[in-house]
Amino acid sequence: MSEKAILVGLITPDVTQEQAYEYLDELAFLAKTAGAKPLRNFTQKLKHPDNKTFLGKGKIEEVRLFAEENDIKLIIFDDDLNPSQIRNIEKLFGEETKILDRSNLILDIFASRAQTAQARTQVELAQYQYLLPRLTRMWTHLERQKGGIGMRGPGETQIETDRRIINDKIALLKKKLVKIDKQSTTRRKGREH
């Protein structure tokens, strides 16, 4: 069974109402491809996205109430959200509601369709590269000082640790892609002879 979803977009000086509806139609197609069932679109006319919640207070509350009344646990935004917007929206909707943006949705589709080791590695790399700049204050409840044996230095915070781990993982995945590429080239040359 498909997961019910709400789609959210903005009408701005750069995006007309007609364009916003076209973008939401495209987002609906992407959502269906990912296995979601979009039930309703919400749009709001703003000069620019609200720094805290992407939408204005009244509109985000309208979306929250609709989600609550219809037991919808997936909200997909047509634009990329910054870490603080995601955190603030998650606080409003509750932990059980997933908040996605267009880029996250597309990465999810790629991940579900990746067949080869190379494709899976490329998707994983893209997911980590997407996540890295979003680490800032995502997990403020984990913001502890770490130190001692095995740590990079005294007083390393959880976010610094997570950032280092993700950077290490990105480097590892890049090396893995180079290795896969070399193996593919070797196999190809072997078939040609």
Domain locations in the chain as residue ranges:
3-102, 114-192
Q: According to CATH, what is the number of the domain 3-102?
A: 3.40.50.11060
pLDDT, one tens digit per residue, over 5-26 is 999 999 999 999 999 999 999 9
Provide the token pair at 129. Answer: 């590269």
State the average pLDDT over residues 86-108: 93
* Residue predicted with more confidence, 44 or 142: 44
Q: Any idea how long the chain is?
A: 193
- What per-residue confidence (pLDDT) applies to 83? 86
pLDDT, one tens digit per residue, over 51-83 is 999 999 999 999 999 999 999 999 999 999 998
**H/E stretch holding 166:** helix 158-192
Vertex 177: Cα angle to 188 and 117 (nearest 5): 75
**H/E stretch holding 36:** strand 36-45
